[in-house]
Amino acid sequence: MSQATATLLISCPDQRGLVARIANFIDANGGNIVHADQHLDFEANRFLSRVEWQLDGFNLPRELIDPAFAAIARPLGATWQLHFSHPVPRIAIWVSKQDHCLLDLLWRHRAGELPAEIVAIVSNHPDLKPIADQFNIDYHHIAIAKDNKLEQEKAQLDLMAQYRVDLIVLAKYMQILSADHVNTFPPTINIHHSFLPAFPGAKPYHRAHKRGVKVIGATAHYVTADLDEGPIIEQDVSRVSHRDTVEDLIRKGKDLERIVLARAVRLHLQHRVLAYDNRTVVFA
């Protein structure tokens, strides 16, 4: 399936004939559908769909697909995204000092698991530069202090624009982004720990350990202005016991974080995630 494909992610109020209308649009233009999935949110009366088709043999040139589809979609009150499998999206990875998520993403990228170009690594610390060097990726150290936060955020955003970044991955970037910042960003995926019950605030692993939880988790989500409360893309958990020290919990948490983040990034890069109403449909 290495052939070039186009993917439409569509969301609109439900009504009769939507599947047929979308399929006909692709069929009428000579496209061969390789994946079609749809979901009805009955409560919200919302139709959500993902359709992927081969561009080989498709009669419309790339630049005309969006306007042509708009003629169908606008009357339906739809919002949609059109993506192409090539060129692959350009991603920037933001880190602080921890390397586990960064290294995992770099490996998977090298192993061909992530259809993307990693164009830059951004950090508020210099620590992980050697890893960037080793993988031949630009590393930008933008130190953030209390008194320069606004201007440094400006520098970060300029950098993202300069690199034409399509996706930011916060791979244990331990800074809170300002709301303004979030609104100007390209889509951004974050990873954070999750517990039953939740332990908001500082030192969550210490508190989860103190509480004797039997399960720890990690959640990957899109970043919104509401910290750690954006649409959830992927979650997973590990069992723990009283035998696990705080260090064990942190170690197991790191394993969860890197796997859950990598899965979420991959799903996004394959254009399988459709966010709406602070939740997601994952067409996996």
Helix (H) or strand (E) holding 139: strand 139-141
Residue reference for tokens 């498709």: 58
Q: Which of 195, 224, 257, 268 binds a copy of itself (CB under 8 A)?
A: 195
**What backbone phi and psi angles, to 5 degrees, belong to 168?**
-105, 130
Spatial CB neighbours of 266, under 8 Å, sequence gap ≥ 6: 108, 113, 114
Q: Is 203 near a copy of itself (CB under 8 A)? A: no
| x-marked contacts with a copy of itself along 155-194 as a string, rule CB under 8 A | ---------------------------------------x
Residue reference for tokens 């942190």: 250
- Residue 53 CA to residue 259 CA, distance in Å, equals 29
Q: Is 31 near a copy of itself (CB under 8 A)? A: yes
How far apart are CB 200 and a copy of itself at their closest, in Å?
A: 9
Q: Which of 68, 72, 82, 103 binds a copy of itself (CB under 8 A)?
A: 103
Q: Is 32 near a copy of itself (CB under 8 A)? A: yes
| x-marked contacts with a copy of itself along 35-74 as a string, rule CB under 8 A | xxxxxxxx--------------------------------
Residue reference for tokens 């047929």: 20
How far apart are CB 217 and a copy of itself at their closest, in Å?
A: 5
If DSSP codes are grouped into helix, strand and coil, which group holds residue 165? coil
If DSSP codes are grouped into helix, strand and coil, which group holds residue 202? coil
- Residue 104 CA to residue 114 CA, distance in Å, equals 11
Q: Which of 83, 100, 129, 140 binds a copy of itself (CB under 8 A)?
A: 100
How far apart are CB 158 and a copy of itself at their closest, in Å?
A: 33
Q: Is 201 near a copy of itself (CB under 8 A)? A: no
Annotated active-site residue in 37, 41, 228, 236: 228
166 classed as catalytic: no
Q: Which of 17, 61, 67, 201 binds a copy of itself (CB under 8 A)?
A: 17
Q: Is 202 near a copy of itself (CB under 8 A)? A: no
Q: Is 215 near a copy of itself (CB under 8 A)? A: yes
If DSSP codes are grouped into helix, strand and coil, which group holds residue 79? strand
The dihedral sign for the CA sequence 197, 233, 89, 154 = negative
- Residue 37 CA to residue 51 CA, distance in Å, equals 7
Query: 241 to each of 93, 209, 210, 247, 252, how far by Cα in Å?
Result: 33, 9, 12, 13, 12
How far apart are CB 74 and a copy of itself at their closest, in Å?
A: 20
Helix (H) or strand (E) holding 113: none
| x-marked contacts with a copy of itself along 118-157 as a string, rule CB under 8 A | ----------------x-----------------------
Q: Side chain identity at 86, as an amino acid letter?
A: H
Q: Which of 45, 198, 203, 225 binds a copy of itself (CB under 8 A)?
A: 198
Task: Decide if 171 contacts 109 (C-beta within 8 A).
Answer: no
The residues annotated with a catalytic role in the active site are 228
Q: Which residues bind a copy of itself (CB under 8 A)?
A: 1, 16-20, 23-24, 26-27, 30-42, 100, 103, 107, 111, 113, 134, 194-198, 210-215, 217, 219, 228-229, 231-237, 239, 241-243, 245, 251, 254-255, 259, 277-282, 284
